[in-house]
Structure 1
Amino acid sequence: MTGAGSTRDHLIESTQELLWERGYAATSPRAILDRAGAGQGSMYHHFRGKEDLAAAAMAATAQQLLARAEAALTGEGSAFERLAGYLLRQREVLRGCPVGRMTGDADVLESAVLRRLVATTFDSLRAHVDAVVRAGVRDGEFDSAVDPAELADTVLAVVQGGYVLARAAGDPAPFDRAVRGAVAMLDHLRRKDTV
Structure 2
Amino acid sequence: MSSRESLIESTRSLLWERGYVGTSPKAIQQRAGAGQGSMYHHFSGKEELALAAIERSAEVLREVADAQLSTEGTAYARIEAFLRRERDVLRGCPIGRLTQDPDVMATPALRAPVEETFAWLRGRLTAVLQDGLDHGEFPGTLDPSTTALAIVAVMQGGYVLARADDSPQRFEEAATGILGLLAAYRRPETE
Shorter chain as denominator, the TM-score bin is over 0.9
Q: Which amino acid aligns with 1:51?
A: E
Q: Deviations over 1:39-86 (max 9, x none)?
A: 122211111111100000111111111111001100011111001111
Aligned equivalents of 2:71, 2:100: Cα separation in 1: 32
Which 4+ runs in 1 deviate beyond 2 A? none
Residue 46 of structure 1, aligned match among 42, 49, 52 = 42
Aligned equivalents of 1:133, 1:69: Cα separation in 2: 14
1:73-88 map, 5 Å: 73-88=69-84
Aligned equivalents of 1:118, 1:87: Cα separation in 2: 19
State percent identity of aligned pairs: 52
Residue matched to 1:140:
136
Give the structure-2-normalised TM-score. 0.98
Question: What is the root-mean-square deviation in Å for CA atoms of aligned residues?
Answer: 0.9
Query: What SS is found at the alignment partner of 1:54?
Result: helix
Aligned equivalents of 1:149, 1:179: Cα separation in 2: 18
Give the structure-1-normalised TM-score. 0.96
Moved more, 38-47 or 133-142: 38-47
| Long gaps (5+) in structure 2 | none
Aligned pairs, how many?
191
1:28 correspondence with 2:24: yes
Aligned equivalents of 1:111, 1:42: Cα separation in 2: 25
Residue matched to 2:101:
105
Q: Which amino acid aligns with 1:169?
A: D
Instruction: Please report how far the alpha carbon of residue 169 of structure 1 lies from its aligned counterpart in structure 2 after TM superposition.
Output: 0.7
Aligned equivalents of 2:153, 2:139: Cα separation in 1: 21
Query: What SS is found at the alignment partner of 1:175?
Result: helix
Instruction: Please report how far the alpha carbon of residue 193 of structure 1 lies from its aligned counterpart in structure 2 after TM superposition.
Output: 3.1
Aligned equivalents of 1:38, 1:147: Cα separation in 2: 50
1:11 correspondence with 2:7: yes
